[in-house]
A and B are shown apart, each in its own frame.
Chain A
Amino acid sequence: MNPAAHELDVEGLELELLLEAMFRRYGADFRGYARSSLRRRIRNMVRDERLGSISALQEKILREPEAMVRLLDHLSVCVTSMFRDPSFFLAFRQKVVPHLFSAPFVRIWCAGAATGEEVYSLAILLSEEGLFERCRLYGTDINAHLIEKARRGVFDAALMGEYEANYRAAGGKGSLSDYFRVAYDGATPRHGLKRNILFAQHNLAIDGSFNEFNVILCRNVMIYFGAELQNRVHELFFQSLRRKGFLCLGRRESLPRALAKTRYETVDAEERIYRRRS
């Protein structure tokens, strides 16, 4: 075997052992995650901590809980923005919102909400459509730090220009700045917007269902999971969705073929919006 391939083999074993150690020592279960991105993130941590190998990182996290916290932050996916993929929010406005008026109370779950941009975007959209008063939005994420940031809801004012453009492309009816107070370099949602939003820590890999929802959004979260864990989460979502409830995935994610036929109908194939049959 060539030396580089040999080294890669050893590293692969070290990675599996680290995941096992994280689970057995801290209950942090990343064993069902897709390995490629995980490996890159863990290598970054090894480099940032000036360690020589994943084994050295394992030793460190076992003995130093603070190092484990840093590792969890390295493993947290946090790419988000207001009205990310505007065409999705436009489709949501046109094809999902009209069906929500008939429900007396609407529960929406954003799974993998990170720092909350998507949740606040939805809140804005729903208040423009006159639905927000009847809605409760649940934003959950595996990472407690991110959830804390989402609760505070302070966004970089420098990004508001970009968000404003997204908002318009998403069919926004006013100006995004109407919904935020800008102080120094931070933009905070005005009070009313936070009223019906609840942020909580939830781990899709191990936690169960916690309510019954009219809509579940989980965009670009499950791409980090292996196929088996994806199936588990799809089962969780199915059980957490009301009949005729909506499931929204990321632009390049599909339902497992078996589910696509029997459990869901397609509302918008391009924007990956599905509806539970019954």
Chain B
Amino acid sequence: MNAPRLVVVGASWGGVDALQIVLGALPATFDAAVLVVLHRAQGVRDVLQHVLQRSCSLPVGDVEDKQPILPGRVYLAPAGYHVHVEDAHFGLSVDDPVHHARPSIDVAMSTAAEALGPKVTGVVLTGAGRDGAEGLALIKRLGGCAIVQEPSDAARADLPRAALDAVQPDRVLALEEIATWLAERGGGAEVNGGASPD
């Protein structure tokens, strides 16, 4: 199976604004898939897709169970579900929340790393709590690329700080720089050219 490169972006508090900037900078020719995991409340009428679609030139939609991962698309983790990456498609679960979150950034990033290894880039943006730190570390261990938003640039610095405690990332960047970096690299995966174990 020909699995595509995948960028997993995690955020919580302040995430909607940050995501508009990052996704807004991706060109229509972007050739990796993007999975967005944003902590969000269940039950409220779901407008996230519409909000993000307005600023993004790639098609944006909620993940469906067993949906194939296609390049040039932005997938949102649906409220109330964990997203699991399995080879070349997404799966969903209603397993217990991780760090009080479902969807959890750790679940998405860990399963992405385990399924796709060096083809994964993890990006941890603004937020409260520490969800995502462990997943980002695993992405790095399995040969992928780790990006963390500069804590001083984040609306809430907890999430990026926790990530920085857990892993030595490839880049620590401000939001606009993350957007440019991803856009230039078309997904940015395999930055290490096969990865060095550390």
Chain A residues proximal to chain B, CB less than 8 Å: 2-5, 8, 34-37, 39-41, 77, 79, 86, 220, 222-224, 227, 230, 250-254
Report if B74 contacts A (CB, 8 A): no
- Our count of residue pairs bridging A and B at CB distance below 8 angstroms stands at 70
**Besides A5-B142, A251-B80, A252-B78, 6 new A-B residue pairs in contact (Cβ under 8 A), listed by A number:** A2-B197, A36-B115, A37-B95, A79-B95, A223-B65, A250-B65
In the bound complex, residues from chain A placing their C-beta under 8 Å from that of B96 are: 79
CB-based nearest A residue for B114: A8
Chain A nearest Cβ from B177, distance in angstroms: 28
Shortest CB-to-CB span from A251 to chain B, Å, is 7
Q: Which residues of B contact A39 (CB under 8 A)?
A: 114
Q: Mark B104-121, 1 if CB is under 8 A from A, else 0.
A: 000100010011010000
B73 within 8 A of partner (CB): no
B85 at the interface (CB under 8 A from A): yes
Contact A40 B142 (CB under 8 A): no
Interface residues of chain A: helix, strand, loop or mixed (majority): helix
Q: Do residues B78 and A251 form an inter-chain contact, with CB atoms below 8 A?
A: yes
- Measured CB to CB, the closest approach of chain B to A201, in angstroms, equals 21
Bound Cα distance A220, B138 (Å): 28
Asked whether, in the complex, the Cβ of B65 is within 8 Å of the Cβ of A40, the reply is no
Q: How far is the CA of A5 from the CA of B142 in the complex (A)?
A: 6
Q: For A223, what are the chain B residues with a Cβ–Cβ distance below 8 Å?
A: 65, 81, 91-94
B153 contacts partner chain A, Cβ-Cβ < 8 Å? no
**Chain B residues near A230 (CB-CB < 8 A):** 66
* B84 contacts A4, C-beta separation under 8 Å: no
Interface contact A40-B86, CB-CB below 8 Å: no
Partner of B66, one of A4, A8, A227: A227
- Give the complex CA separation of A2 and B196 in angstroms: 7
